[in-house]
Structure 1
Amino acid sequence: MISRSLLLASAAGLTLLASPALADEATTGTATGADTAAADQPEADNPSRGDVIIVTARRRQETAQEVPLAISVIKGDSIEATGNFNVVKLQQLAPTLQVYTSNPRNTSVNIRGLGVPFGLTSDGFEQGVGIYVDDVYNSRVAAATFDFLDVDQVEVLRGPQGTLYGKNTTAGAINITTNQPTFDFEGRAELTAGNLGYKQGKAAVSGPLSDTVAARVAVATTSRRGTLWNTRTQRWVNEQDNLGLRGQLLFKPSEDLSITLSGDYSQQDPECCGTAFVRVGTTQRPLNRQYDALIAALNAANPGKNFTVPSRNVYDRLTDIDASLNAGNKIGGASLKVKWDVGPGTFTSITAWRFWDWKPENDRDFTGASVVAKSQNPSQQDQYSQEFRYNYSGDKIDFVVGLFGFKQRIDTQGTEQQGSEATRFSLAPSTDPTNVYNRPDVLNGLTATNTQYLKADSVALYGQVSYKLTPELTIQPGIRVNYDKKEGFYQRVVTTGAGTLITSCAPSATAGNAVLTAQCGVYQPQLTTPSVSDWNFSYDLNVNYKITPDVLVYATYAKSFKTVGINQNGLPLDTNNQPVLSASTVRPESVNHFEIGLKTSFLNRLATFNLTAFRTEIKDFQATVNGGQFGTVRGYLANAEKVRSQGIEADFKIRASDRFTAYANAAYTDAKYVKFTSAPCPPELSGGSFVAVGGTPGAAGVPGALSPRACDISGQGLPGVSKWAFSYGAEYNVPVNLLDKEGQIYLGVDGNYRSDWNSNASPSIYTKVEGYALTNFRAGFRGEGFDVFGWVRNAFDVNYIDLLQVAPGNVGLIAGTPGDQRTWGGTLKFSF
């Protein structure tokens, strides 16, 4: 780990010219200057023209308004000004980006409602939204939770990107570019302090070591006290405790050749991630086996303990969870990037290694009772990637061709253990004194120890050509050939509290043994060794036409895929309590994507307005589902027959003058299961005895009613998706002389709105998250080389929910995480 900590930064991308500016399309942030680019130098030198945003979305430098795809660009200074210091926060600026996290590992990053299956994360599937840092692919969604470190800009590309990027992505890509080493000495520092004990510090220094060698080093640290008070431990939980380091070494022996060695290390070590009581939703379980009755029974059996939630109002921010919490997360790696200009084109080689170490401790029953006493699933990952890419630019033809190889191994060692109250909480009561319900030892100490690994290999050949039929009309076809292979291993060993090994839960083993039957109802031994491989061919076609130099229209069709997956967290059970081996693997997704768009600049390019309409259809959609029982399975992958996401996105920005800038973005997303006939049921249709084959299930939410084994949720909305999302911002400044310093006093506002969405894989009436709107303000004074400002976020102290979770066991408990309350503070920035 010491050697890992000393490695320096991810691969260096093309250096992008960066003065503070509004983002293109998503227009996220404030503009205080104009970006420039050699490709558009005459226009950039004209102060009456609008901002020129340079991107590398198509693996070459070009202005964002010339790229015929939906792209949101957020400049680094805009990210800092609005306090959005990681991808989780970035969704407040990009309406079609949704990020939901119960802890770093269980993080969903979706674009237009698609990307990562919503729910507990399995290692056996690919993410549909690729996260790239300086051209290096980050395979784990957990990487999305690290702090932005010395970032130049972030590009959010919407829609399939497999013909331009190393790893295939069906929903989009987040392309993060950091600031690169410079041959001019420069540096920057930033200090922030706020309420809740918030402290953040950032620093970066860059400069020459010789005529041909330059280096850059950056560091960032963030800490904040938690937002939930645990009345049991008498301390705040869900805190922030982050550290990040990045270093880059650039060797440039000539104008045609550059070699960048880089590495990074990020560490998070907070006491996280706890939940608070939100509500109780009645299930079909017998009434005396639901949450309130169970807590009353525990109190009757344990005089003096008084298991009572400290508050039934989640916005009191109180919890009493009793299990240990930890969210230790270490991410880092090293890369070598070689860029060589060869005649009319550029050859690029990117060699990278990344690691991820995850050390969690969770309270899986979401209560103050000792039901699940321990839930820990630490994981370690190593990934290796190699990409070769050649870019050619000509008068009529531009093309990119690439070869990408990827190798990954993830090891996980899991422990889940039942606590002293598990028997009374999980087993049906009886007046018979010999019944197992009256023996706490039956489940107390029952332990499932899981050992698993995943080996994943992938290789792909991809390419895209832009051919100018006329100066105005361009056709852009692309293809990708992909091979993927996955091998997995999963073994669950179950022991009783006395240390006795449970070797089988088959009916022949449990017959006449009430104790073993009860124990097997919670944990069952399993052993699976899934293996699968697959070839995929995908392609896309884009046609774009410049009606005028400032008006571009385009249409795109993409046939894409998400590769095969394997179940790595245990399998669902059949009626004989045995693993369903046919569920070991899931089929690849088949994606058909349609998109049309309009990009316009007007008022002498002081304003832009862009409009996109899209429709994405996916057959064999890979969904994460959960059966709801304690320990039976953490969550497993299944194929939904078909899903569809369609919608419209509009983005507007204006730099009316050097004094005033503004932006507004809107997105309408209609994402639903077109056909999912065998989905797990929501809590209101779970918990009762299973209905006989051909029988009629009982009414939803009626205690004691018969429950269906599976539910048809066709036509219902995908989880985690708001139909409506908006973001906006504006800034006004006035030039002044203050304390003998020339500069600007400025006032800025930004905000966002999301309509309601559902927080369960099978939408439930109990897990609907109400829509909310957040507003942020900032005011300060800036001049050459400095910026001092105060800020307030969630200025109106709006109560909102980040995530709701259904407690296991079908007891009706819904727990959740409230979003940040009003926060405020000040920031001081210097640069030279």
Structure 2
Amino acid sequence: MTLTLAILLAGQASVPPVQNAAAAPATPAQTIEVQGAEPAPPAPEETLQRSSITGDIVVTARRRAESVQNVPIPISVVGVKELDSTGSFNVARLQQLQPTLQFYSTNPRNSSVNIRGLGAPLGLTNDGIDQGVGVYIDQVYLSRVAVATLDFLDVAQIETLRGPQGTLYGKNTVAGAINITSKAPSFTFDGRAEVSLGNLDFKQAKASVSGPLTDDIAIRLGLTTTDRRGTVYNVATRQYVNSQDNIGLRTAILWNASPDLSFTLSGDYSRQNPVCCAQIFVRNGTTQRPLNRQFDLLARALNYEPPSRNAFDRLTDLDAQLNARNILGGLSLRGEYKLGSGTLTSVSAFRFWDWLPANDRDFTGLPITTLSQNPTHQSQYTQEFRYAGGGTKLDYVLGLFGFYQDIHTTGTQRQGSAASRWLINPSSALANDPSVLDGLTASNDIRLKNFSGAVFGKLNWKLDDRFTLSPGVRLNYDDKVGSYVSIVRDSAGNLVPYTGGTARQAAQRDAIQPQSFSDEAYRAWNVTYDLTGSYKPGRDVLLYATYAHTFKSGGLNLNGVPVVNGVVQTQLAQIAPEKVDHFELGAKTQFWDRKATLNVTGYWTSIRDYQAVVNNSSTSTLRGYLANAGKVRVRGIEADFSVRPSERFTFYTNGAFSDARYLDFKNAPCPPELSGGGTPTAANPTIGAPGQPGTNSPIVCDISGQWLPGISKFAFSYGGEYNLPTKVLGQDGEVYLGVDASSRTKFSSNASRSIYTDIAGYTLTNARAGFRTDAGLNVFGWVRNVFDTHYYEVLATTPGNTGLIAGNVGDPRTYGITLSKSF
């Protein structure tokens, strides 16, 4: 097996960012070539060795070797073999191997990657704030999580770092990071080809080749393509939707300019162009709106019925165009220079993202919202310098990081002929006039210029053979300038005013509120610091403790702010940073002659000024907006266990207990069962019962003590593989059978927990069986979701408080065959 390990955690001589094989399915152990973050050119590979029985991994970096069990950081590592054998070709699949990782997506832009329930609030998309989980490809930070929806491209290894990062490299992230390391160019010719076929017209191909161009220059080329029929049938357009249509290309050139200097130039391009993304009818939950303004009676008035009220019939009738064209790419240049007792590394990169969507945001087959899209072009430039050096007692990393991002989004929302009847109170004569809202169009122009710069450092001070102190610090500056302009016109092209006007214009403004603000700026300095102490009482035991004080950058409301009496509330355009205090205790152990590994971590994370959508008494009747909640706490225990009693059998299980709650959130938006009703007055202050039609609704809801969305109290992944030596058609090899499963308990799918949007726990089981040879041939059959479990990935409330709940159904049972050959 060949893996590549990016020691992206700053290339420390004593702390490579690898934890253990328990975080992923255990695999046959071989000598593995590893690309280090701070190698000594001209041979930038470090040697990572794994004993064939014990699974002990040793990294040789800058004249020093360390077992991964000596790393006082909780990190899950998945190599290329695990990715290929389990079919984990994107982050959505990867989360089934890692119970502390959560990924949710209704389309590439509306995606969130969380670790331990933290990162970005579920369902909240706003370009004016940073993500809490950093995604890195070959040491380059990616500012938008849309890349997580694409196929992994010629990947060697993926590391998921849990807990705050920032004193070692790159962008500050409060929840963790996903480091994706591509396969490196090789000075010996090698290659690999893989083809997979399956049901739902699934077709996937991967290929890579590498070799020398000269004695000092090597190149690598990689390609991946995936195509699959959609899992939901649209009876209106007579086509399957939520399909897959991905292609990716990558190349890298390594030049060993001298014994002490090397450069790696990399370029990649990925395109996603599926018929996507449909959220379909799940249920109707009663709200406090008058009954004649709720889904069933509104639909009856328009002679409408969904094609099915059972989401697992996988039917929809969305009448608006669907598209999710997602294009990402970029160039990077990494230089590594051996200087003195350490290595100086420079990483320069340019990246771009083009997003061309089309959505049906009324979630029905009715012409209510006929166009809803926010196409965007984003570009970013990053520059990082690191110097990693040290000696016997001390080693350190010093770094500079600069980031610049430019975003331009031009959105359009257009209402259709059914909008008046659906959105205007039936007691008004305007509700029966389709022309009031038909053709009403909002044209949005959203811009952001975002700069972030930092200086950071990390020190490892070895007090003696057993005890090490590792302090770190980061000084960060953020500068964001943004604007939001929404111009609303009726079907005749007449402007809808911010306030006043006719009753007709007031109804139009209730449907889409025009507003504008420009040159809003957020600028701030912040300091991050952490301290880790590690103690090694014996060869196979490591104990460690960490405290980190960090932050998530403040930002801007680029989805708009409330408008009160025609005045845009620009004082609400800025969002303060999240302030994070994180505590962690961990133990890494091996026993049974290192055939078994057990690592345990306990953590407690408190966040003040949590960034979320809020309401308040003066503005919430018009619009919720992004601001800061009071306090959030996430605490839990994680355990990773793997055992390899012989070369024939491996087994792993990873588990996580999480207690993730809002401790103080008194000004939250209310869930649908407490929304849509009248406004309390002095004459009628009574709030109705949840889901009671025609009653008053609270202005805000206190959800202190409730669950954070998207995270289960218990989550597990587990599995194993058994192999048996044999000969097939004269080829020596082994037959094998592998099973992997993941289980999670109930979780909330709404920022304010609702009786309508809890998702029941479920278990997904995957299996594979095949034959592989030492010569690199591997052929196997696979089944994903063996028991055809019905489950929801995401449930969402829909606009207007009609009670309609839409959602994404998970994949049904899929099966197929894969053939691969390495050479």
* Cα displacement string for residues 409-459 of structure 1 (whole angstroms, at most 9, x for unaligned residues): 1100000000110000111113x7xx2112110000000000010100010
User: Structure 2: how far apart are the matches of 1:790 and 1:166?
Assistant: 40
CA distance in 2, matches of 1:53, 1:377: 48
* Runs of at least 5 residues in structure 2 that lack an aligned partner in the other structure: 1-5, 13-17, 37-44
2:131 is equivalent to residue 127 of structure 1 = yes
Distance 2:380 2:621 in 1: 30
**1 CA distance for matches of 2:679 and 2:286?**
17
Instruction: For residue 112 of structure 1, report the CA deviation from its aligned partner.
Output: 0.5
Counterpart position of 1:715: 705
Structure 2 equivalent of residue 539 of structure 1 = 529
Q: Which residue of 2 aligns with 1:343?
A: 340
- The aligned residue for residue 140 of structure 1 is 144
Q: Residues 601 and 34 (structure 1 numbering): CA distance in 2 closer, same or farther, change over 3 Å?
A: farther
Which residue of the partner structure matches residue 560 of structure 2?
A: 570
Which residue identity lines up with residue 766 of structure 2 in the other structure? N
The answer on 1:813 being equivalent to 2:804 is: yes
1:678 to 647, 651, 667: 667
Spell out, residue by residue over 1:88-121, the C-alpha distance to the aligned partner (whole angstroms, 9 max, x if none).
Answer: 2111001010000000001010000101122131
- Structure 1 window deviating more from structure 2 (601-610 vs 230-239): it is 601-610
Quote the residue 1:52 is aligned against.
57
Matches within 5 A, 1:546-695: 546-574=536-564, 576=565, 578-624=567-613, 636-692=625-681, 695=685
Q: Indicate how the Cα distance of structure 1 residues 42 and 55 shifts in structure 2: closer, same or farther if over 3 A, else same.
A: closer
Residues 531-561 of structure 1: CA deviation (Å, up to 9, x unaligned): 1100001100000000111100000000000
Distance 1:810 1:134 in 2: 45
Question: Within the alignment, does 1:793 sit opposite 2:798 as a pair?
Answer: no
Q: How many residues align?
A: 797
Matches within 5 A, 1:355-394: 355-394=352-391
Per-residue deviation, 1:26: 4.7
CA contact (8 A) 1:28 1:78 kept: yes
**Amino acid across the alignment from 1:505:** Y
1:189 matched to 2:193? The reply is yes
- The structure-2 alpha-carbon separation of the partners of 1:129 and 1:465, relative to structure 1 and needing over 3 Å to count, comes to same
Structure 2 Cα separation of the partners of residues 676 and 658 of structure 1: 53
Distance in structure 2 (CA, Å) of the matches to 1:137 and 1:470: 36
Q: Distance in 1 between matches of 2:238 and 2:59?
A: 50
Q: How much has 1:146 moved relative to structure 2?
A: 1.5
| Code of the aligned partner of 1:28 | A
Q: Deviation string for 1:346-369 (max 9, x for gaps)? A: 100000000000001001010110
Which whole-Å CA distance do the structure 2 matches of 1:746 and 1:794 have between them? 19
Change in Cα spacing, 1:46 to 1:517, as seen in structure 2 (3 Å) is closer
Task: Indicate yes or no: 2:487 matched with 1:462.
Answer: no
> In the alignment, is residue 823 of structure 1 matched against residue 814 of structure 2?
yes
Paired amino acid for 2:805: I
Task: Using the TM superposition, give the Cα deviation of residue 24 of structure 1 relative to its aligned residue in structure 2, in angstroms.
Answer: 2.1
Residue 434 of structure 2: aligned partner = 440
Give the corresponding residue for 2:30.
34
Deviates more, 1:646-655 or 1:63-72: 63-72
Q: Give how far 1:696 is off.
A: 3.4
Give the 3-state SS of the residue equivalent to 2:130 in structure 1. coil
Deviation at 1:149, TM superposition (A): 1.1
- For the 8 Å contact 2:356–2:375, the answer to whether it is kept is yes
CA shift, 1:257, in A, is 1.4
Q: 2:466 aligns with which of 472, 478, 496?
A: 472
In 1, Cα distance between equivalents of 2:111 and 2:69? 31
C-alpha separation in 1, matches of 2:345 and 2:47: 29
Cα distance change on mapping 1:632 and 1:441 into 2, 3 Å: farther
Q: Partners in 2 of 1:33 and 1:588 — Cα distance?
A: 45
Distance verdict in 2 for CA 1:201–1:62, change over 3 Å: farther
Please report how far the alpha carbon of residue 34 of structure 1 lies from its aligned counterpart in structure 2 after TM superposition: 2.9
Distance, in Å, in 2 between the alignment partners of 1:398 and 1:634 is: 52
Partner of 2:15: none
User: Deviation string for 1:782-809 (max 9, x for gaps)?
Assistant: 0021100000000000000011111100
Contact 2:515 2:560 in 1 (8 A): yes
Q: Structure 1 stretch 215-224 or stretch 388-397: which is displaced more?
A: 388-397
Return the offset for 1:23: 8.2
Aligned to 1:5: none
Q: Deviations over 1:387-416 (max 9, x none)?
A: 000011421111111000000011000000
The one of 497, 509, 512 equivalent to 1:520 is 509
The 1:483/1:555 distance shift into structure 2, 3 A limit, reads: same
User: Aligned with 2:630: secondary structure?
Assistant: strand
Q: Give the equivalent residue in structure 2 for 1:428.
A: 425
The answer to whether the 8 A contact 1:746-1:779 is kept is yes
Greater shift, 585-594 or 635-644, is seen at 635-644
Distance 2:801 2:148 in 1: 31
Contact 2:535 2:544 in 1 (8 A): yes
Partner in structure 2 of residue 698 of structure 1: 688
Whole-Å Cα distance in 1 between the matches of residues 544 and 282 of structure 2? 46
Contact 1:34 1:51 in 2 (8 A): no
Contact 2:443 2:487 in 1 (8 A): yes
The residue that corresponds to 2:41 in the other structure is none
Tell me what 1:772 maps to.
Answer: 762
Could you tell me which residue of structure 2 aligns to residue 114 of structure 1? 118
| Aligned-partner residue type, residue 537 of structure 1 | V
Partner amino acid, structure 2, of 1:593 = H
1:303 corresponds to? none
Cα distance in 1 for residues equivalent to 2:133 and 2:329: 20
Partner SS state of residue 656, structure 1: strand
- d(CA) in 2 for partners of 1:426, 1:723: 38
C-alpha deviation, 1:570, in angstroms: 1.0
Whole-angstrom distance in 2 between the partners of 1:703 and 1:259: 67
1:635, CA displacement in angstroms? 7.2
The answer on 1:94 being equivalent to 2:98 is yes
Q: Distance in 1 between matches of 2:98 and 2:526?
A: 31
In 2, the alpha carbon distance for the partners of 1:437 and 1:61 equals: 74
The residue type equivalent to 2:336 in the other structure is: K
- Structure 1 residues 117 and 600: alpha-carbon distance in aligned structure 2, compared to 1, 3 A threshold: same
Once the 2 structures are TM-superposed, how far is the Cα of residue 250 of structure 1 from its aligned partner? 0.5
Paired with 2:538 and 2:260, the residues of 1 have a C-alpha distance of 35
Cα RMSD, aligned residues only: 2.4
Could you report, residue by residue, the CA deviation over 1:178-237 in whole angstroms, capped at 9, with x for unpaired residues? 110000000000000000000000000000000000000000000000000001101100
What residue identity is the alignment partner of 1:647?
G
- CA distance in 2 between counterparts of 1:53 and 1:625 reads 49
User: For 1:652-677, what per-residue CA distance to the aligned partner results, in whole angstroms no more than 9, with x for missing partners?
Assistant: 00111110011000000110110011
Native 8 Å contact 1:595 1:613 kept in 2 = yes
> 1:90/1:48 Cα in 2 relative to 1: closer, same or farther (>3 Å)?
closer
SS of equivalent residue, structure 1 residue 144? helix
Question: Partner letter of residue 326 of structure 1?
Answer: N
Take 2:644 and 2:635, find their aligned partners in 1: how far apart are those partners?
Answer: 31
Shift of 1:564: 1.0
Gaps of 5+ in 1: 1-10, 17-21, 300-306
Which of residues 498, 504, 508 in structure 2 aligns to 1:505? 498
Q: Is the 8 A contact 2:49 2:59 kept in 1?
A: no
Tell me the amino acid that sits aligned with residue 347 of structure 2: I
CA–CA distance in 1 between the matches of 2:722 and 2:121? 41
Aligned to 1:232: 236
Listed one character per residue, the Cα deviations across residues 724-769 of structure 1 (whole Å, up to 9, x for unaligned) are 1000010000000110000000000000001111111111111001
- Name the structure 1 match of 2:407: 410
CA distance in 1, matches of 2:60, 2:476: 26
> CA contact under 8 A between 1:189 and 1:202: conserved in structure 2?
yes
Partner of 2:23, secondary structure, is coil
Q: Give a deviation string over 1:119-153, Cα, whole Å, max 9, x none.
A: 13100001110001110000001111111111111
CA distance in 2 between counterparts of 1:63 and 1:419 reads 63
Q: Once the 2 structures are TM-superposed, how far is the Cα of residue 496 of structure 1 from its aligned partner?
A: 0.3
Q: What does residue range 194-213 of structure 1 map to in structure 2 within 5 Å? A: 194-213=198-217
Q: CA 1:381/1:45 → structure 2, altered by over 3 Å: closer, same or farther?
A: closer
TM (norm. structure 2) is 0.94
Does the residue aligned with 2:300 lie in a helix, a strand or coil?
A: helix
